[in-house]
Amino acid sequence: MTTDELLSIEPQELQFPFELKKQISCSLLLLNKSDNYVAFKVKTTNPKKYCVRPNTGVVLPRSTCDVTVTMQAQKEMPLDMQCKDKFLLQSVIASPGASAKDITPEMFNKEAGHEVEECKLRVVYVARPGPPSPVREESEEGSSPRASVSDNGNYSVSEQSAVSRSHVQRPQPEENSYEAKALISKLTEEKNSAIQQNKQLQQELELLRHHSSRSRVGLPFLYIILVGMVGIILGYLMKKT
Closest CA to 125 of 13, 239, 11, 10: 13
- Evaluate whether 32 touches 7 at the Cβ level (below 8 Å): yes
**Rounded to whole angstroms, how far apart are CA atoms 233 and 230?**
5
Closest CA to 108 of 117, 120, 119: 117
Name residues whose C-beta falls within 8 Å of residue 25's C-beta, 6 or more positions apart in sequence.
68, 69, 70, 71
pLDDT at residue number 134: 62
pLDDT at residue number 92: 96
Closest CA to 145 of 115, 126, 169: 169
Q: Please, which pLDDT band fits residue 142 given cuts at 50, 70 and 90? A: low
> Between residues 197 and 74, which one has the greater pLDDT?
74
Cα–Cα distance list, 122 to 18, 67, 105, 179 (Å): 15, 15, 23, 73
Per residue in 23-53, pLDDT tens? Answer: 999 999 999 989 999 999 999 999 999 999 9
pLDDT at residue number 132: 67
Per residue in 169-228, pLDDT tens? Answer: 554 555 567 777 888 888 888 888 888 888 888 888 888 887 766 666 555 677 778 878
Domains of the chain by residue range:
7-126, 186-240
- CA within 13 Å, CB half, 86: 7
**Rounded to whole angstroms, how far apart are CA atoms 13 and 115?**
24
Per residue in 76-103, pLDDT tens? Answer: 988 888 999 999 999 999 999 999 999 9
Res 152 pLDDT > 60? no
Name residues whose C-beta falls within 8 Å of residue 129's C-beta, 6 or more positions apart in sequence.
none
Q: What CATH number does the domain located at 7-126 have?
A: 2.60.40.10
The whole-chain average pLDDT of the chain stands at 81
**Rounded to whole angstroms, how far apart are CA atoms 91 and 109?**
11
